[in-house]
Each structure stands twice: as C-alpha cells, then as structure tokens.
Amino acid sequence: MSERDFVSLSIAVLTVSDTRSFADDKSGALLADRLVEAGHALANRRIVPDDVDAIREVVTAWCADPAIDVVLTTGGTGFTGRDVTPEALEPLFQKRMDGFSAVFHRISYDKIGVSTIQSRATAGVVDATFVFALPGSPGACRDAWDGILKDQLDYRHRPCNFVEIMPRLDEHLRRGGRSA
C-alpha cells in the first residue's frame, strides 16, 4: 500500500481566560506552535473571557467559516464558577465525541493520576468542523496534542483519522436534514 500524502488543515486556537494575554498565554502558544510544527496552518488565534456568549460567538463564527477545519479551545474546563467552556460548546455539538474525553483522561491519568477527574475536556462536531475543548494547562494541551490530536489530524495515520472523514461530516445537511 502506498504512503498517503500529508494534508495540511486550517486550525484555529481559542484561549478562554479572564486573565491571559498573548504575552503570557502558554497553552494557546503551545497549541499554535505544535500545529504549525506538524505542518498545519494557524487559521486564527484569539483570547476571550470565561463567558458563555463570548466563547460561542467566536466558535460559531469559526465553524461557519469554510476555511477553518478544526477549532481548538484551551481553558475553562474545570469546576470553578468561571469555568464554562463545556457549557458554551456542548449545546452547539451536532455530534459528541465521547471517545476524545475518555482517551484524554487515560493519557492524563498516566501523568497526573486521579487529578485528571478535575477536567471536563470535551469534543464534538459543529457545522462539519471538529471542536476540541482542552484544559488550560500547557501540560494538558501537550498531552492532548501529542497523544491524540497530532495523529488524528494527520491523514497518513492508520488505521483511521479525522481527516479522511472530513468530507462526509456534513452529509446530514446535504440530505436536507439536521441530525441531533
């Protein structure tokens, strides 16, 4: 079987934080650096406060943009009162990706033990765009990218990857219906 060619994706990175700026956003910078090192394009990078409407506004706009293939968010997945990223994103998901959270926690458990239960990392599909909500720590972002996303966002990864199914993510829309 012949080797597949790499397919560069357009990936946007959103940091959710009341306190971060680009100067000290280590997690957003790590994700941006990692995706570019892997051969993908950084489509956009923003920081918004821990606010459901602010998060939804950016993610909804990015998912409506046909030039953006993937959205990565970092921050706001914990349990404090200001942590609202899952609440902002999960209602937008047309398809949930429960396996992402399960694998993320498996990888995280190997590094930080039972403390992984303090993360509500989640993922899903919004308007044929993959959306991943990662914790705000650089270590967690590194674990998610290196342990899951790097391979799943690489068309050459076998036995399967997200890139090969991207053209079919909006089949329900082309058929005239919306799946729940």
Architecture of domain 11-167: 3-Layer(aba) Sandwich (3.40)
Q: So what's the pLDDT on residue 169?
A: 87
- The conformation of residue 17, written as its DSSP 8-state character, comes to -
Burial (CB count <10 Å: 0-12, 13-18, 19+), residue 104: buried
Distance of alpha carbon 160 from alpha carbon 152, whole angstroms: 8
Asked whether residue 64 carries a pLDDT value surpassing 90, the answer given is yes
- Better-scored residue on pLDDT, 149 or 180: 149
Q: Could you read off the pLDDT of 95-151 as tens digits, one per residue?
A: 999 999 999 999 999 999 999 999 999 999 999 999 999 999 999 999 999 999 999
pTM higher than 0.85 for the full model? yes
Asked whether residue 175 carries a pLDDT value surpassing 60, the answer given is no
pLDDT tier at 170 (50, 70, 90 boundaries)?
Answer: confident
Strand order in the sheet with 129-134: 41-48, 10-16, 70-74, 129-134, 122-126, 95-96
Q: Could you read off the pLDDT of 68-90 as tens digits, one per residue?
A: 999 999 999 999 999 999 999 99
Q: So what's the pLDDT on residue 173?
A: 59
Asked whether residue 174 carries a pLDDT value surpassing 80, the answer given is no
pLDDT tier at 172 (50, 70, 90 boundaries)?
Answer: low
Q: Could you read off the pLDDT of 21-63 as tens digits, one per residue?
A: 999 999 999 999 999 999 999 999 999 999 999 999 999 999 9
Indicate the domain borders of the chain.
Answer: 11-167
Average pLDDT of the segment spanning 157-175: 84
Neighbours of 103 (CB within 10 A): 17
